[in-house]
Chains A and B, each alone.
Chain A
């Protein structure tokens, strides 16, 4: 018993160490070595490495209830992880591997040892940090239920606030900025303040007395007014974004908006009807190119250049057609085959657009420029700030439609098909109509997004419509929770918003998407903000598979 416990502790530490090696050599750790979060001491990279140590300690310690085993085994795991870091630092320093491994630099050795190096000093640092981290982890884990969670969330929030310095600093009032932030990241005193504030905030939500307090505030508003009040406040906040956010932030907000629109569209297909469409980018591309072809003087079909407001509905209608065109042939497919077939459609669209053959009509590799911008009377909307309102309107419309569809007869039909197509058909649901409408309406959101995108950017090039966009949308749905509308928001903010804000991150975003897709499916298949029905279904299925005996597992094919 104890032997396996020791071995488990060692093994978990070893795994976390391997993860650290991967993050270091694949470039994530070196890329963020200069990104300071709190003062001089905490960089994004050191926070990442520390997180691995903490996770190792926690994963080991959580199996035990006594204080001593929690601490002992946690420390063992943490130490193994730390020593693995140090070993990599040694290897990187001793051998010149840079010809093969891009990131095996002496700087990496310093980052891995928390500022030390491949020497006794670095070794000592790693050991001390590992022991302290494991101690704190086991102590936090031993706190009564809501408090451990509150502390973890509060620390993460503090790090996030530090990470988003460049975004928040220009927006916050000058005094606050001066107090909270240093030259890069939070100042130490700022970090303490943010930490305390977020502990209080989370405590308000999570603890019993906090909940009574919030409820007391909430009951001050009479019930029939509550919902409209919340909605109005939310709307006002959303409307105010371009006023306080600068050009850069508004641009980011616009891009998040495009992905929310696409996410809502794919959500109808993947989340509601359970059809994995890996070629969703095709609809985005069709919308964008329709807008481009109709409004750009470079192409000018038949010598006509349409106005933005005329081209927009046409683009949406064309995309609905494209949705039907894709939907018809794949009606009888499901699962893997559907995913691959739609991926094929997406690639066909991109390759055709890219080809010299269609260059006179679609611009080839250079794409189309001078795409029309919307006018409102004499006012020309062309800054990202002004465009934001248009995108917001589109998102609100798509959101409203999604809610109504979800609660409609059609929505129920989609859910039924998602759960079991045969049973749904037996219950009298018309599979053809249901699937085609899912594809068509889902496509129209993507087309709207594409048309707005083309107009805002002013040009379209085939490179913007690669498979990666589809994967992006799938990943944000998976993160937020397939079928969940608030999940789309969270997913888009996390997977599009944050990467747009962090420029170092751009190169690694797909690496992280890959991790997100795998980790979410393993740990929380229903997503961060799960839709209720789906959560029940998915969690039951995974639970069953976990509880099943090997023999049952062997037979469980579906």
Chain B
């Protein structure tokens, strides 16, 4: 004890130095952002209506991130692993549904029954993504459940690229544009109708998710496994099945998010899953990974920051084409959250020292 103490002391002091540097960098970044915001607001290049539009757009985008983030968070909750291929699960639904949407559009059904078409598209996309997610779990994750942490992480990266380039091979590398949905054109008060539809869609999906988790036996099993896998298994819960259900539900929501994303951004492509995937992960961590309301909140916060941030933070410095730095902001938030508050805004519900 007497021998160990000075060692520990000196080691922790050295960590303090490195921590000091990290905190300084964080402080500098925060100052830059703050000064930039003040400068921008004082310069007054943007009208209040423009800021409002930024925020509305950010909320719609953030709602989509939230849906994807829930998939990350749920999988993390039950398996303590990050499903790196989740962004590709999202992409697979959106890409495949393009062909359904295209067919509905050309047959005229989309025009005559827009709501039926939309619901069909959402369900179809959800089912495709669900299948992909379950397959990934079965092939790439389940056989390695007892292996060292690095192993499933590497297969996850592999699965991600495998899926991306499979879809590229199947459907080509070109950008496809979803057909416009007639009833969603134009504005409702000062919102774009698509944005309203996205928001409503996300709310309904979230409500269904909460009902599923709280009111069904499968939901109960998932919550039990997330709480304590060992105890759940002892209580007769089929852990494998609960895990598959988690992947299925997460995948289904990612598929719905895929169609909603296509409503807002119109274009889909094999590579489209990467950025939303990373951002949804950021959202999940931002809210506190493993924490469902946290994922939803994190998505919204990230969406708004990303939408407002480039103009607000950088315009004041006179930086050219600040919108190009949108993703830099998202990635910086990601890194900063991981460094300074890995438990997120709302705290990690399923804490564990093994992760940080």
Kindly provide the distance from the CB of A329 to the nearest chain B CB, expressed in whole angstroms. 5
- Report if A542-B158 is in contact (Cβ < 8 Å); known contacts: A101-B170, A102-B171, A334-B356: no
Produce 1/0 per residue, B143-180, CB < 8 A to A: 11111111111110111111111101111100000000
Chain A residues within 8 Å of B171, by CB: 100-102
**Is A333 an interface residue when CB atoms closer than 8 A count as contact?**
yes
**Is A234 an interface residue when CB atoms closer than 8 A count as contact?**
no
- Report if A336-B153 is in contact (Cβ < 8 Å); known contacts: A25-B169, A102-B169, A521-B158: yes
B356 with A102: CB separation less than 8 A: no
- Report if A347-B161 is in contact (Cβ < 8 Å); known contacts: A330-B339, A432-B14, A545-B147: no
Kindly provide the distance from the CB of A497 to the nearest chain B CB, expressed in whole angstroms. 19
B18 with A347: CB separation less than 8 A: no
**In B225-274, which residues have CB < 8 Å from any A CB?**
229-230, 232-234, 239-240, 274
Kindly provide the distance from the CB of B155 to the nearest chain A CB, expressed in whole angstroms. 5
**In A313-366, which residues have CB < 8 Å from any B CB?**
328-337, 339-341, 343-345, 347-348, 351-352, 354-357, 359
- Report if A336-B169 is in contact (Cβ < 8 Å); known contacts: A356-B320, A516-B158: no
**In A126-161, which residues have CB < 8 Å from any B CB?**
none
Among A337, A507, A544, A551: residue with most chain B CB under 10 A:
A337
B18, closest chain A residue (CB): A328
- Report if A541-B148 is in contact (Cβ < 8 Å); known contacts: A348-B332, A514-B165, A554-B233: yes
Task: Kindly identify which residue among A510, A518, A556 contacts B159, using a CB–CB cutoff of 8 Å.
Answer: A518
Kindly provide the distance from the CB of B147 to the nearest chain A CB, expressed in whole angstroms. 5
- Report if A337-B342 is in contact (Cβ < 8 Å); known contacts: A471-B161, A521-B154: yes
Chain A residues within 8 Å of B319, by CB: 357
Alpha-carbon distance A545/B281, docked complex (angstroms): 28
Task: Kindly identify which residue among B162, B321, B322 contacts A518, using a CB–CB cutoff of 8 Å.
Answer: B162
Chain B interface extent, by class? 35 or more
Chain B residues within 8 Å of A183, by CB: none
Alpha-carbon distance A542/B166, docked complex (angstroms): 28
**Is B346 an interface residue when CB atoms closer than 8 A count as contact?**
no
Chain B residues within 8 Å of A556, by CB: 145-146
Alpha-carbon distance A432/B331, docked complex (angstroms): 24
A100 with B159: CB separation less than 8 A: no
Alpha-carbon distance A478/B155, docked complex (angstroms): 10
B150 with A103: CB separation less than 8 A: no
Chain A residues within 8 Å of B18, by CB: 328, 331, 432, 436
**Is A20 an interface residue when CB atoms closer than 8 A count as contact?**
no
A276 with B154: CB separation less than 8 A: yes
Kindly provide the distance from the CB of A221 to the nearest chain B CB, expressed in whole angstroms. 41
**Is A408 an interface residue when CB atoms closer than 8 A count as contact?**
no
**Is A27 an interface residue when CB atoms closer than 8 A count as contact?**
yes
Among A101, A331, A554: residue with most chain B CB under 10 A:
A554
**Is B116 an interface residue when CB atoms closer than 8 A count as contact?**
no
B162 with A351: CB separation less than 8 A: no
Task: Kindly identify which residue among B144, B148, B325 contacts A351, using a CB–CB cutoff of 8 Å.
Answer: B325
Alpha-carbon distance A432/B18, docked complex (angstroms): 8
**Is B5 an interface residue when CB atoms closer than 8 A count as contact?**
no
**Is B140 an interface residue when CB atoms closer than 8 A count as contact?**
yes
Kindly provide the distance from the CB of A542 to the nearest chain B CB, expressed in whole angstroms. 5
B321 with A355: CB separation less than 8 A: yes
Task: Kindly identify which residue among A103, A333, A339, A425 contacts B356, using a CB–CB cutoff of 8 Å.
Answer: A333
**Is B11 an interface residue when CB atoms closer than 8 A count as contact?**
yes
Chain B residues within 8 Å of A41, by CB: none
Chain A residues within 8 Å of B215, by CB: none
**Is A474 an interface residue when CB atoms closer than 8 A count as contact?**
yes
- Report if A22-B166 is in contact (Cβ < 8 Å); known contacts: A341-B339, A538-B151: yes
A541 with B153: CB separation less than 8 A: no
Produce 1/0 per residue, B61-97, CB < 8 A to A: 0000000000000000000111010000000000000
Kindly provide the distance from the CB of B281 to the nearest chain A CB, expressed in whole angstroms. 6
Chain B residues within 8 Å of A517, by CB: 154-155, 157-158, 161-162
Chain B residues within 8 Å of A341, by CB: 334-335, 338-339
**Is B200 an interface residue when CB atoms closer than 8 A count as contact?**
no
- Report if A513-B147 is in contact (Cβ < 8 Å); known contacts: A103-B169, A333-B338, A356-B321: no
**In A455-478, which residues have CB < 8 Å from any B CB?**
467, 471, 474-475, 478
Chain A residues within 8 Å of B47, by CB: none
A332 with B356: CB separation less than 8 A: yes
- Report if A357-B161 is in contact (Cβ < 8 Å); known contacts: A276-B153, A553-B146, A556-B145: no
A335 with B149: CB separation less than 8 A: yes
Task: Kindly identify which residue among A329, A355, A521, A554 contacts B339, using a CB–CB cutoff of 8 Å.
Answer: A329
B243, closest chain A residue (CB): A554
A425 with B81: CB separation less than 8 A: no
B158 with A514: CB separation less than 8 A: yes
Task: Kindly identify which residue among B7, B233, B356 contacts A555, using a CB–CB cutoff of 8 Å.
Answer: B233
B320 with A514: CB separation less than 8 A: no
**Is B22 an interface residue when CB atoms closer than 8 A count as contact?**
yes
**In B300-350, which residues have CB < 8 Å from any A CB?**
314, 319-322, 324-325, 327-328, 331-332, 334-335, 338-339, 342
A274 with B150: CB separation less than 8 A: yes
- Report if A357-B335 is in contact (Cβ < 8 Å); known contacts: A335-B150, A511-B162, A556-B146: no
A513 with B153: CB separation less than 8 A: no
- Report if A474-B154 is in contact (Cβ < 8 Å); known contacts: A103-B169, A515-B162: yes
B145 with A553: CB separation less than 8 A: yes
Task: Kindly identify which residue among A103, A336, A554 contacts B81, using a CB–CB cutoff of 8 Å.
Answer: A336
- Report if A340-B82 is in contact (Cβ < 8 Å); known contacts: A22-B166, A335-B149, A508-B165: yes
Alpha-carbon distance A558/B150, docked complex (angstroms): 10
Task: Kindly identify which residue among A343, A521, A558 contacts B155, using a CB–CB cutoff of 8 Å.
Answer: A521
B154 with A548: CB separation less than 8 A: no
Kindly provide the distance from the CB of A421 to the nearest chain B CB, expressed in whole angstroms. 10
**In A500-558, which residues have CB < 8 Å from any B CB?**
507-508, 510-511, 513-518, 521-522, 525, 537-538, 541-542, 544-546, 548, 550-551, 553-558
* Extra A-B contacts (20), CB below 8 Å, given A351-B324, A541-B147, A553-B145: A25-B170, A100-B99, A328-B18, A330-B339, A333-B338, A336-B81, A340-B278, A344-B331, A348-B332, A357-B320, A471-B161, A474-B157, A475-B158, A478-B154, A507-B169, A511-B161, A511-B162, A513-B158, A514-B159, A517-B161
Residue positions of A touching B, CB distance < 8 A: 22, 25-28, 100-103, 274, 276, 278, 328-337, 339-341, 343-345, 347-348, 351-352, 354-357, 359, 425, 428, 430-433, 436, 467, 471, 474-475, 478, 507-508, 510-511, 513-518, 521-522, 525, 537-538, 541-542, 544-546, 548, 550-551, 553-558
Complex A-B: 26 CB contacts under 8 Å: A101-B170, A102-B169, A328-B18, A331-B15, A336-B149, A337-B338, A347-B331, A348-B328, A348-B331, A351-B325, A432-B18, A433-B14, A474-B154, A475-B158, A511-B162, A511-B166, A514-B159, A514-B162, A518-B162, A521-B147, A521-B158, A522-B155, A525-B151, A545-B144, A555-B230, A557-B80
Residue positions of B touching A, CB distance < 8 A: 7, 11, 14-15, 18, 21-22, 25, 80-82, 84, 99, 139-140, 143-155, 157-166, 168-172, 229-230, 232-234, 239-240, 274, 278, 281, 314, 319-322, 324-325, 327-328, 331-332, 334-335, 338-339, 342, 354-356
Question: Shortest 8 CB-CB distances between A and B: which pairs?
Answer: A545-B146, A517-B158, A514-B162, A26-B169, A511-B165, A514-B161, A27-B169, A554-B233
